[in-house]
Amino acid sequence: MLKVNFTAVTPLMQIETMETRRDKEGAEKSVTAIKTRTIYDEEIGGLVKLPVYTGNGFRGLLRRKMSEILLEEALEKGIKINTTDYFLMVAGGGANYQKQEFDIVQKVKSLNPVISLLGTSLAIPGKLIVTDFMPADYRSYLYEFKSKNAEDNGEEFQDNVPMVRYGCSLIQTRTFTKKDDILNQTKFGRFLSKEDVKAWEETIEKERAEKENNKNKKSEDKKERKTIQSILNAEYIIPGTKFTGYISFKEPITDLEYGLLLKGLANLTYEYLGAGSSNGFGIANYNIYDDVTGGEVIFSLVSSDNLLKRTLSTPQSEHESKCISLFEDWLSKLSDDNINVSKLMKSKDEKKAKIY
């Protein structure tokens, strides 16, 4: 089992949904809400709503990074990949494939370590499990909801139903705005003032009311479009937040698969997590441990003063180095059989034809 610790160097935003909330004045506003989990904390004796980076999101990014390693080598060797096999490996998708016979599963797993580790579609189960990443020191950031008024704390309380009593100040909200480049017959726009935003919000509310009354009416003068294109209230997790999660295995993995996993994790650490990368969101520092050996650091990624120049340490243990070398040797011999595995699998149509 591997223990993965990462610290948000810049704000982190993994989007859950859009919500409508009320501010202190009672006005409604749309907010892009981040993913959260509600847990029961025995120490404080209540339910707590915490920010989270989902294991599913991390697992999906890891799949893409591991797949890229194989696909880049295939490109170098001139191996062509069909659309079906691309999605089976990179996205784990393939609705036309269901549970396969045991010998087919074993054959595909022996040929493609990405599919062996992460599975594909409903056809082949994977070996790897990734937990959600939870904030490590959240208790110092908790605050208690003082009222049962939904407008005061954003929670709807019901009789005889346990409700969230604590929030977490690791979650903050930022307002993003966008304006046209050309405003008021000038070449460039200007930054928004509070008065601009307030005036725009009033205009939008007026337009919304007008649209309700005139749903089928179209604007006659396109030149009178509003110069402010959008305003967005979005939650994010503050920089400095430390997360912990685990990678475990449902069944033993081979040394070759472990080597691929380490290479994929190393590549993943350079990626932006979640949304907002164009705004610099999602940069993180990592420490990845072998939790079985009592916390030996496999590798770490640390940011310098320049956030885009980060230093990744290489695995120091003999076992990790051996597994990576084993995988790299396998990769150098990559063939079409390792990439295009769908030809071994039976589709739903083939199974139906066999029945009839």
For residue 347, what pLDDT is reported? 75
Q: pLDDT 10s per residue in the chain (356 long)?
A: 899 999 999 999 998 888 877 666 667 778 888 899 988 888 888 888 899 999 999 999 999 999 999 999 999 999 988 888 888 898 887 656 778 888 999 999 999 999 999 998 777 889 999 999 999 888 888 888 764 444 444 444 444 445 667 888 898 888 766 554 434 443 333 444 556 556 656 666 676 677 666 655 544 444 344 444 456 788 999 999 999 999 999 999 999 999 999 999 989 988 899 988 888 888 898 888 887 655 667 777 776 555 566 677 766 678 888 999 999 999 999 999 999 998 888 876 655 545 44
Where do the domains of the chain lie? 1-180+233-356
Q: What is the pLDDT of residue 225?
A: 42
Helix (H) or strand (E) holding 308: none
| Strand 46-51 with 164-168, pairing | parallel
Long-range contacts, stretch 283-287, CB < 8 angstroms, 24+ apart: 283/8, 283/9, 283/10, 283/307, 284/6, 284/7, 284/8, 284/9, 284/12, 285/6, 285/7, 285/9, 285/310, 286/4, 286/5, 286/6, 287/4, 287/5, 287/6
**Cα 92 to chain centroid, rounded:** 16
pLDDT of residue 113: 96
Residue 111's pLDDT is what? 95
Kindly give, in sequence order, each residue whose CB lies less than 8 Å from that of residue 283, ignoring residues fewer than 6 positions away.
Answer: 8, 9, 10, 272, 303, 307
Task: Quote the tokens at residue 131.
Answer: 């937990």
Q: Which residue do the tokens 């595909």 mark?
A: 108
DSSP code of residue 99: P
Residues in the chain: 356
